[in-house]
Amino acid sequence: MKKSLSMLLAGLMLVGTLAGCGGNTGSTDNAGTDDSSASGAAFKIGGTSPLTGDAAIYGNAVARGAQIAADEINAQGGIQIELKFEDDENNTEKAVNAYNNLKDWGMQLSLGSVTSKPCEAISTDINTDRIFALTPSASSVATTEGKDNMFQMCFADPNQGTASADYIADQKLGTKIAIIWKNDDVYSTGIHDKFVAEAQTKGLEIVSDTTFTDASATDFSVQLNDAKDKGADLVFLPMYYTPASLILTQANSMGYAPKFFGVDGMDGILGVENFDTSLAEGVMLLTPFNADATDEKTVSFVNKYKEAYGEVPNQFAADAYDCIYAYAQALEATGATPDMSAEDLCPLMIEQFTSMTFNGLTGENMTWDTTGAVSKTPKGMVIQNGAYVGM
């Protein structure tokens, strides 16, 4: 590339008008409008994403974050990236169809899927087809297990459960712990199981352990009353922010005010529509990204995202942004060219990702092991005055 990636990340230039993907309801193909892409001189990177449906808030964040990174890289005139997202609606069958559409398009590198179940559904095909994949947010272990070409930018579910228990114990945040988790979701289940195991090791007393499903994700009175009646002074919420916002609202209405501690899926709770954000005051969570950080890389990204889409980016957008830059770093380091096949690129990417160190929005000195799991340090955050503040 004409400028080193470290310089790109340190002082990124604002590209003119971003070809936004926020208003799309089907597949997106936003980076393929320049001459290099049209002439086949760009690397084709694709992913399946819930651009519509209940999980669209996550899918669109990923598509937007990835597009900003691609636009920045393309503006430098060196490596060129053409992005395409296909809508999977957070549905496994549709994810497989979306993946096949991307193969027909000529995808050389993959972003997998945004959510875990769809990503699990396509990961076997990704492995068989020898297309290297780096998912920004599908965190289940089954996504990467037994697949040497399937990698994650996000924390794996077990790691979040262990890290959360360690943090709560080490910081002495609670003495009696309640857990409310979603038992039909691999993300929530994976975190819960490791949290319980680590809590026992750390001497945390779990006094309430209750669940919910998609069908019961509107009324949490049973779970909250159980936690309250058993004297829980901290409630652990291994879930995404939509049900978490309802739990906070209902806890407030019943006069129950314990400490609440969440995971990276709760990042973005301040942007939930019709949610009284004052109820999130004091909520703690572990996340790899803080949109209120003052370092140059974060400020640049947040400003561009807000200008293009009118909202503050969440962790999903930041992880996707990092995926594109990690790909660019790996492609540059290996001397790969856009005329190479996905099968030829795959071993180069495996070798590079298991040996390189990457600095991004969501972590410094990131590395990956041969299982595809990323090593980076989560940040302890607490919501104060409507903003995330480091603990």
What pLDDT does residue 267 have? 79
What pLDDT does residue 38 have? 38
What pLDDT does residue 64 have? 98
pLDDT tens-place string over residues 271-295 = 788 999 999 999 999 888 888 888 9
What pLDDT does residue 19 have? 33
What pLDDT does residue 155 have? 85
Q: Which residues on adjacent β-strands are paired with residue 332?
A: none
What pLDDT does residue 14 have? 34
What pLDDT does residue 21 have? 34
Residue 389 pLDDT > 90: no
Compute the residue count for the chain.
Answer: 391
What pLDDT does residue 277 have? 93
What pLDDT does residue 30 have? 41
Q: Please indicate whether residue 222 or residue 25 has the higher confidence score (pLDDT).
A: 222
What pLDDT does residue 24 have? 37
Sheet with 374-375: strands ordered across: 358-360, 363-368, 374-375
Same fold yes or no, 5-155+294-377 and 158-287: yes
**Domain 158-287 - what CATH class?**
alpha beta
What pLDDT does residue 162 have? 92
Residue 179 pLDDT > 70: yes
- The alpha carbon dihedral of 51, 52, 56, 61 has a sign of positive
- Count CB neighbours of 182 within 10 A: 22
What pLDDT does residue 6 have? 42
Residue 383 pLDDT > 50: yes
Instruction: Report pTM.
Output: 0.81
In the chain, where the domains are located: 5-155+294-377, 158-287
Mean pLDDT of 64-80: 97
Mean pLDDT of the chain: 89
Helical H runs in the chain? 5-10, 35-38, 56-75, 92-105, 116-129, 141-144, 157-170, 186-202, 221-229, 241-253, 296-309, 315-334, 342-353
Q: How confident is the model at residue 39 (pLDDT cuts 50, 70, 90)?
A: very low
pLDDT tens-place string over residues 330-376 = 999 999 999 999 999 999 999 999 999 999 999 999 999 999 999 98
Mean pLDDT of 13-23: 34
Residue 35 pLDDT > 60: no
CATH architecture group of domain 5-155+294-377: 3-Layer(aba) Sandwich (3.40)
pLDDT tens-place string over residues 136-162 = 999 889 999 999 999 999 988 778 899
Residue 82 pLDDT > 60: yes
Give the phi and the psi of residue 212 in degrees, each rounded to 5. Answer: -150, 170
Tokens of 344: 């030829």
Mean pLDDT of 175-195: 94
Residue 65 pLDDT > 50: yes
Helix (H) or strand (E) holding 367: strand 363-368
Residue 31 pLDDT > 70: no
